[in-house]
Amino acid sequence: SQQGEEDPQALSIQEGENATMNCSYKTSINNLQWYRQNSGRGLVHLILIRSNEREKHSGRLRVTLDTSKKSSSLLITASRAADTASYFCATVPIQGAQKLVFGQGTRLTINP
Amino acid sequence: DGGITQSPKYLFRKEGQNVTLSCEQNLNHDAMYWYRQDPGQGLRLIYYSQIVNDFQKGDIAEGYSVSREKKESFPLTVTSAQKNPTAFYLCASSIRGVGEKLFFGSGTQLSVL
């Protein structure tokens, strides 16, 4: 079963604008991770945020985590054409099998 | 260069045939994983291994088999029992175990002739 659900499923913005993607999950987690996938390629790890953290930054990326709402957001600032990709959140539930569970992803298109 | 190498990039299977997808890593990672990705979907875990000579089933293990005879290698066999094998297969590794960040290979696209 899918633990994380991304919203929106697809997002199209102009280069230079900010892009925000959201992820909701169902059960308590150890950590939440965001990955990027270019078409036909493997996934690339972006950020890992632990359940006791609320915000994390990496370059133009900002991730927030709200464990009370069981949600996370990924913000990409000053978007570039090269940011065009699918973005996935993945969670590690505290209960049950300790394995990374991926959502279905957000397809982000940056228009030049 | 350190990384994960998957081969082949494209693979075609005839009905009733078993095929094997290769995954090799030189990152000295203990844990390795196989995921299946269908078009427009997220990843589903097939099998994972946290140590040599040991592996566990994921969510969709039926019709697949794996081996972990060497730390560097985690081949996946898609057997004839897998009736809908067309998908993009991704191999990944992590330093120790589940819950850590994953390093992915570039994937193998499997299609049925």
pLDDT for A2 equals 47
A10-53 confidence digits (pLDDT tens): 999 999 999 999 999 998 998 999 999 999 999 999 999 999 99
The torsion angles phi and psi of A81, rounded to 5 degrees, stand at: -55, -35
Residue with tokens 């066999």: B77
Buried b or exposed e, range B85-100, using 16+ CB within 10 angstroms: bebbbbbbbbeeebbb
For B24, the enclosing helix (H) or strand (E) is strand B19-25
**Closest CB to A100 among B4, B102, B103:** B102
**Interface mutation vs chain B, best among A23, A29, A34, A43, most B CBs within 10 Å:** A43
Q: Percent of chain B beyond pLDDT 70?
A: 98
pLDDT for residue B97 is more than 80? no
pLDDT at B98: 72
| Beta bridge partner(s), residue A48 | A33
Contact B42/A44, CB-based, under 8 Å?
no
Q: In the structure, what pLDDT confidence band is assigned to residue A1 with cuts at 50, 70 and 90?
A: very low
Dist CA B111 CA B106 (whole Å) = 16
Q: Sort strands A106-111 and A10-14 into parallel, antiparallel or unpaired.
A: parallel
pLDDT at residue B88 is higher than 90: yes
- For residue A86, what are its two tokens? 């699918």
How far apart CA A34 and CA B13 sit, in angstroms, is: 33
Summarised one tens digit per residue, pLDDT across range A40-50 is 999 999 999 99
- B112, β-bridge pairs: B13
